[in-house]
Amino acid sequence: MTESGDSFQLCFQLDNICTDPERFLSAISTYVNKVHVLNKRVSTAILAKSLSKQDFKFLQSIYPQITANFYIDKRQLLSKNSQLYSDVEEYILYDHLSNNVTFFPVNKEITISFPHETSRRPCSPLIPYCIELTNENNLRLLVSSTSECDNKTMEWFKQILLKKLSTWCQLKDACSSEQTTLKLINITQYQKQYEYLKQKYGKYLIENWQELTDPQKHVHEDIGKIICSVLGIASYLITYWNENACRNEKPTFVDFGCGNGLLTCILNSEGYRGIGIDMRKRRSWKLFDSSSTSYYRELTIDPHNTILFNLLLEQKFSYIIGNHSDELTPWIPVMAQRLNINFFLLPCCFYDFGGKKFTTKKHENQNDAYLNYVEQICQVLNFDVQRDKLRIPSTKAICFIGRRKNINMTGHSNDHQESISTYNARDQILKHFGIDLDCVTAEKETKQSSLMINKKTILQKTVKSDIALILFKYILQNGSISIPDAYNILPMNLKEQIKSEPGGLNSIIKSYKEIFLLSNNNIHIADPLENDMKQKLSKNGGNDQVMKNLKTKICFFHFYHPDGCPLNRKNCKKHTLHKVSQYKKGKDSVHVQGKRRYDMKQQGFGGQKKPVFHKKAKTTKKIVLRMECTECKYKKQLPIKRTKHFELGADKKKKNQVINY
């Protein structure tokens, strides 16, 4: 070690750091504000708003070299565990001319006695140290020559602090020193609340856990990941409610998808009345339940269930809590809007209103896109929504707090006569997202249900065509139309059919992009010439072979537009209906069961559309009609009824008859 100055000596140095003084100070600022990222004993750092005369006198006594070139700051480091570690205060001296920053830690209570602990250690090293950027771009760390430093502290200085500062210094974009977690609450009060709940419930929960998994699995390095997450959420809610409630009475809540019920139990135990609802009863409910009243309800959470709605309305809850509520996530703001109350939402899995997985565009982060989607739902429903990030051991830590603009923090309407909001959620969601809430449910879509939906969709392609034709003729006469109005002009039987279509009317309109143009939730007639240019640019320069494959739907402009279709027959959709003939696509082996009988039946029928038998099992056969258009070579298979004459529908088909479809 070499001497540097009167009181500091060089400990570690990283040579040739690709940085500059501006990025160096940005990295230091990040470390000053986010010390908990590097020091796991620290929960947060609180910077002093101003320094007193006593602070300046103390600095003069420990560091007489202070001049007018120094900028002085002070921060308080709060420990995560007050029983093991004590808080530490640090004076920070910035010397902009020399590009160095010096830290002087002060611990006013080095040892504090506890019943089971003789002393507690400081949460940060009590050694003055200096971080310096030289003219040769060497990053150096110096420690006080008069202080003793143990091996663990030296290892932390070298392997964690210096390396991380080096990484931050070399970032092209400046490091963000803003607080990214717990922005809506007081961090000091949150930490006190968390430690209180941890001491009160942690040991008891570990000893009495009744879920199927091993209790130690639920205990993070001191309590457990699940318990730690729930305690963090409970501490956040209690701190937020204490700081923002404008009445003496405490907010009440209903926890949708409460799971093991731990969050519901803790909030009730702390004086916040509420219930937890889940579709399956858990064994831990018996442990958490009160002797006088039950905190839990075993009930399927259906947003369309009037019994559930009336139950929530009678209880007059002020908050809906959605903690990792999966497919209920987008419905939480809707139900809160209908009940005219606030909500706390912590999204996890990506589901839309229909219980399907939320999809995003290419090269778009799915998590960010889904969070923006949820936030947009809250804004559309007239909520004052705030986004924050919790400090819990989970990658999904972004939460939303939605407050109705006409009610206060305890959930009571400013107009006491108004119990249910007149702001129609269904109309707003239909207007902005093209989804009719009355036609979708929050039920999670399984593989089996997905197959059933696909089968329904295949059988109802004619229904889609009928809907498209009605809208096409209406827009020709009246101009553009919004999606809600388009839904209202449809006959009742078609509205019922739309319910089986994933995505509803919006999905049907998008499937006819060659006819309709969707802009700002308004439907317009598309320009065929513009669509043709887009296809030629995207489909291999307009190759004829590629264009042939597009002829799967009839051309609405050719058949129904008064001016006809501006494109020629070759480059457009079908200007004529398909003319089909049978085509064979069977096995070539002569040993196939029934091949001889099949070949004999094939002879003498000419161009008649004859069914082909597919052997599925020993006792079942599937009969399909294979069809191929004689012009565009488009192939299609239709299941038919097995009757005496192999009828397609009700009428017997004649020889050489052409089937139009």
Question: In Å, what is the CA distance from 71 to each residue of 28, 67, 97, 217?
Answer: 13, 9, 11, 48
Residue 265: give its domain's CATH number: 3.40.50.150
Compute how many other C-beta atoms are within 10 angstroms of the C-beta atom of residue 58: 15
Residue environment code for 73-92, b if the CB has 16+ CB neighbours within 10 A, otherwise e: ebbebbbbebeebbbbbbbb
Q: Answer yes or no: is pLDDT of 448 > 90.
A: no
Question: What are 19-57's pLDDT values in tens digits?
Answer: 888 888 888 988 998 888 899 899 888 888 888 888 888
Locate all alpha helices (DSSP H) within 147-248, ordered by sequence.
151-156, 163-169, 187-208, 225-244
pLDDT of residue 396: 85
Domain boundary among 385, 409, 439: 439
- Paired residues of 516 in beta bridges: 525
* Lowest pLDDT segment from 137-146, 203-212, 504-513, 562-571: 203-212
Domain that holds residue 123: 3-169
What's the start-to-end Cα distance of the chain, in Å? 88
Q: Where are the alpha helices (DSSP H) in 414-541?
A: 425-433, 447-459, 461-478, 483-489, 492-498, 504-511, 528-538
Under the banding of pLDDT at 50, 70 and 90, the label for residue 15 is confident
Give the CA distances from residue 508 to residues 464, 503, 531, 561, in Å, rounded to whole numbers and listed in that order: 7, 8, 18, 20
pLDDT of 615 > 60? The answer is no
Per-residue pLDDT for 551 more than 80? Answer: no
Pair 594, 538 in one domain: no
Q: Is residue 502 part of a domain?
A: yes
Q: 396 and 299: one domain?
A: yes
- The structure tokens listed for 503 are 């995505």
| Nearest one of 146, 148, 104 to 129, comparing CA atoms | 104
pLDDT band for position 432 (50/70/90)?
confident
Question: Lowest-pLDDT range, 151-160, 181-190, 551-560?
Answer: 551-560
State the Cα–Cα distance between residues 478 and 481, nearest whole angstrom: 8
Q: What is the pLDDT of residues 455-481, one digit of tens each?
A: 444 435 677 888 888 888 888 888 888
pLDDT at position 419 is 40
| pLDDT (average), residues 555-584 | 69
- Report the distance separating Cα 627 and Cα 640, nearest Å: 12
Residue 145 carries which DSSP code?
Answer: T
Residue 118 lies in a domain: yes
Q: Output 304 or 411, whichever has higher pLDDT.
A: 304
| 80-112: pLDDT as tens digits | 888 888 899 999 999 888 889 999 998 655 444
When the pLDDT of each residue in the chain is averaged and rounded to a whole number, the result is 75
What pLDDT shows up at residue 649?
42
Residues 373 and 466 in one domain: no
Whether residues 538 and 589 fall in one domain: no
Q: Would 209 be classed as within a structural domain?
A: no
Closest CA to 583 of 639, 633, 654, 656: 633
502 and 374 housed in the same domain: no
Res 229: pLDDT:
87
Residue 203 lies in a domain: no
How many residues comprise the chain?
A: 661
pLDDT interval class at 504 (50, 70, 90):
confident
> In the prediction, which pLDDT does 451 show?
39
Residue 118: which pLDDT band, with cuts at 50, 70 and 90?
very low
> What is the pLDDT, as a whole number, of residue 174?
59
Look at residue 441 and tell me whether its pLDDT is greater than 70.
Answer: no
Q: Are strands 296-298 and 274-278 parallel, antiparallel or unpaired?
A: parallel
Let me know: does 373 contact 364? Beta carbons within 8 Å.
no
Summarize the confidence of residues 249-253 as an average pLDDT: 89
Whether residue 474 is found in the same domain as residue 373:
no
Please count the structural domains in the chain.
4
Taking residues 372-392, what's their average pLDDT? 91
Q: Which of 266, 258, 14 is nearest to 131 (CA)?
A: 14
Domain membership of residue 390 (yes or no) is yes
Does residue 420 fall inside a structural domain?
A: yes
Specify the amino acid at residue 79. Answer: S
| Cα 69 from chain centre | 48
Q: Has residue 411 got a pLDDT over 60?
A: no
**Are 456 and 431 in the same domain?**
no
Return all residues near 189 (Cβ < 8 A) that are at least 6 apart.
239, 242, 243
3-class secondary-structure state, position 498: helix
Last residue of a domain, one of 439, 456, 490: 439
**Domain end (from 439, 463, 496):** 439
Average pLDDT over residues 159-185: 81
Q: Where are the beta strands (DSSP E) in 235-380?
A: 253-256, 274-278, 296-298, 319-323, 342-346
Mean pLDDT, residues 221-225 taken together: 52
In a domain, 241, yes or no: no
Say whether pLDDT at 399 is over 90: yes
Cβ-based neighbours of 448, under 8 Å, separated by 6 or more: none
Check whether residue 508 and residue 587 sit in a common domain.
Answer: no
Highest mean pLDDT among 397-401, 449-453, 486-490: 397-401
433 and 334 within one domain: yes
In the predicted structure, residue 505 carries a pLDDT above the cut 90: no
On whether both 343 and 387 belong to a single domain, the answer is yes
Look at residue 407 and tell me whether its pLDDT is greater than 50.
yes
Q: Do 529 and 395 belong to one domain?
A: no
Rounded Cα distance between 73 and 103, Å, is 10
If you ran DSSP here, which 8-state letter would residue 437 be given?
G
Where does the pLDDT of residue 221 fall: very low under 50, low under 70, confident under 90, or very high at 90 and above? very low
Most confident region among 178-182, 219-223, 444-448 by mean pLDDT: 178-182
403 and 455 belong to one structural domain: no
Higher per-residue confidence, 596 vs 568: 568
CA 544, 546, 548, 553: dihedral to nearest 10 degrees? -140
Q: Burial, 40: exposed, middle or buried (Cβ in 10 Å; 0-12, 13-18, 19+)?
A: exposed
pLDDT in tens, 262-320: 999 999 999 999 999 988 888 888 888 766 678 898 888 888 888 788 888 888 899 99
Q: Is the pLDDT of residue 337 over 60?
A: yes
Among the ranges given (26-35, 215-224, 277-286, 440-449), the one the predictor scored with the smallest mean pLDDT: 215-224
The percent of residues in the chain predicted with pLDDT above 70, rounded, is 68
SS3 category, 520: coil
Residue 419 lies in a domain: yes
Backbone phi, then psi, for 92, in 5-degree steps? -120, 125
Between 134-148, 241-255, 401-415, the lowest mean confidence (pLDDT) is in: 401-415
Weakest-pLDDT range from 85-89, 206-210, 359-363, 434-438: 206-210
Share of residues in the chain with pLDDT > 90 (%)? 15
Which tokens sit at 237?
A: 């809610």
Query: Rounded to an integer, what distance in angstroms lies between the CA atom of residue 236 and that of residue 244?
Result: 12
Domain CATH code at residue 94: 3.30.530.20
